[in-house]
Structure 1
Amino acid sequence: MTTISATFREQAASLQSKLVSMRRELHRFPELSNEEFETTKRIRAWLTEAGVRLLDLGLPTGVLAEVKGAHPGPTIMLRADIDALPVNEETGLPFASEVPGKMHACGHDFHTTSMIGAAKLLHDHADELHGTVRILFQPAEEQAVGARAVLEAGALEGVSAIFGMHNKPELPVGTVGIRTGPLMASVDRFEIDIFGKGGHAGVPEAVVDPVVVSSAIVTSLQTLVSRNVSPHYSAVVSVCKLQAGSSWNVIPDTAVLEGTVRTFEPEARAIIPDRMKQVVEGVAAGYGAEARLNWTSMLPAVNNDPAMAEMMRRAAEAQGLRVVEAVPTMGGEDFALYQERIPGCFIWMGTGGTEQWHHPRFTLNEDAIAISAALFAEAAVLGLKSIG
């Protein structure tokens, strides 16, 4: 592996300026989830120019490419996401977004160009591959609907393992975070409708105030974690929206709460919905109001397979990168849906940025692009041999 590892590093370095140019073009013209039409055209054009074969993904946006090795073997997948966010960019960069209110504030442009680089490296070494590598450029990750569409399109059929990443601003370039087990939390959404009785603000005894009920529910929901979930588990309940009333002197009839629950463990995730329903309805009844909980299960936790995580560690070490234990986050990722079907590993790629994801001044160090391309080409080669 030493020879091909060095070759990947050298060839990726020679691609760096071109990959940076691609990334900056994507950055200037960001597109939101399921609107990535021009992004899709650009990716297809760049892969075609590199000689990489394109498959029919069967979706309006997104790209599926394939590098078929000269020798028989399994099929594995590398995945990048391609959508941007509804954020107004404030970086002041010369290649800043030219689309008002839209920005690659999560670094998906970095993920995309890194995987284009990996595809090119693998294509140039197809005669050495024992199996097939598919490279997926997935749409609509930010809305948590892209992976489901990809699965329904059958893109994972015949695939034995999957690998992906997210940039990590707090990790320096040349460092990767890898972890076995949960890395990103499950994502569930709730909406609570509260029904009281409105009236004059100066006559509170004649009303059932849904604002007061809402406040009590928000406070009580914190006991879901502190008194219902084992201290050995991790969970977060966040109420992110409280909407009620339209005037300063009128108590409204209704209020609406919306929020999210994040966990790493399936056991904790299973407990919370029923217990939340009991708390919501019980608190409301105590005030003479009614409440209705609407629960939406969205994503499981990103859960790294031990063998795949170990394989990624070996790939990173072969590329001379510093490997650290990845710190989990309560953020979610629809990469988890692939891991429900097949083993996989999702890692943090150090990009030495100045701000966290989704910030209007989010930036990253572009030196990480070639490093990432070489790493995932290495991982593909190792993965095919390990699985085969």
Structure 2
Amino acid sequence: MLRAEMDALPIQEQTGLSYASENAGVMHACGHDGIVASALVLARILAEEGEVFPVRMRFLFEPAEEIGEGAKRMLAAGALDGEPDIFLMFHYAVDQSFGMAVHEGQASAMINGMEIRVHGKSSHWCEAHKGIDSIYAASLVVKALHDLNETYKGKGPCLIGIGTIHGGEYSNIITDLVTLRGNIRAAYEEDYQALDKRLKETLNEIEAKTGTRIELEYPKPAVLPFANDPELTRIAETAGRKIFGEQFLLEGEEQLFLSGDNAYRYFLHTKGLFSVFLAGIPDKGYPLHHPKFQIDEDILPYSLEALYEILSGIDKDM
């Protein structure tokens, strides 16, 4: 089975491309459009070959990956009915140009979204002594988490990031609530747990210093890491070196990208492989989730060849 995620993001596209999003405030800023296009072409190729191609394939087009709900819903709908032997997924990354990478062993990070609510006390600013400034306390939270990222040395890469801050209604009112939303990411669970502990300690210290009340909530369970199957990794390495030559990278866990994916739910049921195709545009690239994000389309036919070779290798070696 091959999974292709297909959801977009709440971003106003600024690429100016001929195929840019037609919907305001909605954009494919994570390469999912390229993934879907590649999966559809691969499906057409295999369908045209019919019985000549010996691997029986199921294609899974998954919505809601970005919010961590897609795999759960697909499994509930019977995506793994029939118990497929192998689960395949791939992504287009833009941190490097033209190539392919596969991780030996662990291939994703442990991540979770969080919400921090800083409760203060409202007052007019002319009577500031009667209020408790939640915006000030929230600014201390942001700085403390930045400092934590700079100073914490774990087993592997890890961080805590804040993505949104909301608070205040009017310029002359001390607001009584600021809400921060962000995420915690770690290559290893021990670092995830350590950061969670440090985070709670930090919030307690800021509470004591500012007189605020601070709540921390993880609205959903953590997205767990998954690992590439060793035999599938060898097959992918053979395919990658055939198609990309020296531009194929076999990476270790120390080079793990701090991304997570709800696809771990599939890996709990069957062995799997996550391949990454390097599609950065030299001197012109923008990162994932940027309004000008785009992939180098020249990678598309090569990624199709590599996926086809992986499937052929599965037939020969497994």
Same fold, TM-score > 0.5, yes or no: yes
TM-aligned CA distance change 1:224 to 1:133, over 3 Å: same
TM value normalised by structure 2: 0.85
Q: C-alpha separation between the residues in 2 aligned to 1:254 and 1:360?
A: 30
TM-aligned CA distance change 1:242 to 1:132, over 3 Å: same
Give, in angstroms, the shift of residue 156 of structure 1.
2.1
Aligned residues: 309
Alignment match, 1:364? 295
Give, in angstroms, the shift of residue 352 of structure 1.
3.9
Give, in angstroms, the shift of residue 311 of structure 1.
1.7
Alignment match, 2:29? 105
Q: Which moved further from structure 2: 235-244 or 273-282? A: 273-282
Alignment match, 2:123? 199
Give, in angstroms, the shift of residue 345 of structure 1.
1.8
Q: Which amino acid aligns with 2:227?
A: N
TM-aligned CA distance change 1:239 to 1:107, over 3 Å: closer
Please give the per-residue CA displacement for 1:223-250, whole angstroms capped at 9, x wherever unaligned: 65567x6532321111223322222232
**SS at structure 2 position matched to 1:105:** coil
Q: C-alpha separation between the residues in 2 aligned to 1:214 and 1:203?
A: 20
Q: C-alpha separation between the residues in 1 aligned to 2:244 and 2:120?
A: 63
TM value normalised by structure 1: 0.71
Alignment match, 1:94? 18
Pair 1:251 & 2:179 matched: no
Q: C-alpha separation between the residues in 1 aligned to 2:266 and 2:309?
A: 21
Q: C-alpha separation between the residues in 2 aligned to 1:100 and 1:255?
A: 28
**SS at structure 1 position matched to 2:218:** strand
1:341 maps to which of 260, 269, 283:
269
Q: C-alpha separation between the residues in 2 aligned to 1:181 and 1:366?
A: 29
Pair 1:236 & 2:159 matched: yes
1:263-282 equivalences in 2 (<5 Å): 263-282=186-205
Give, in angstroms, the shift of residue 305 of structure 1.
3.0
The answer to whether the 8 A contact 2:109-2:259 is kept is: yes
Give, in angstroms, the shift of residue 131 of structure 1.
4.7
Higher normalized contact order (CA 8 Å, seq sep 6+, divided by chain length): 2
Please give the per-residue CA displacement for 1:43-73, whole angstroms capped at 9, x wherever unaligned: xxxxxxxxxxxxxxxxxxxxxxxxxxxxxxx
Q: Which amino acid aligns with 1:380?
A: L
1:164 maps to which of 70, 89, 99:
89
Alignment match, 1:83? 7
The answer to whether the 8 A contact 1:115-1:376 is kept is: no
Q: RMSD between aligned alpha carbons?
A: 2.6
Unaligned runs of 5+ in 1: 1-76
Unaligned runs of 5+ in 2: none
Q: C-alpha separation between the residues in 2 aligned to 1:130 and 1:240?
A: 46
- Which structure: larger Rg? 1
Q: C-alpha separation between the residues in 1 aligned to 2:191 and 2:154?
A: 10
- Percent identity over the alignment is 27
Give, in angstroms, the shift of residue 176 of structure 1.
0.6
1:102-251 equivalences in 2 (<5 Å): 102-157=26-81, 158-173=83-98, 175-222=99-146, 231-251=154-174
Alignment match, 1:29? none
Please give the per-residue CA displacement for 1:154-200, whole angstroms capped at 9, x wherever unaligned: 21241222121111234333x21121134443221111222222223
The answer to whether the 8 A contact 1:121-1:374 is kept is: no
Give, in angstroms, the shift of residue 318 of structure 1.
3.3
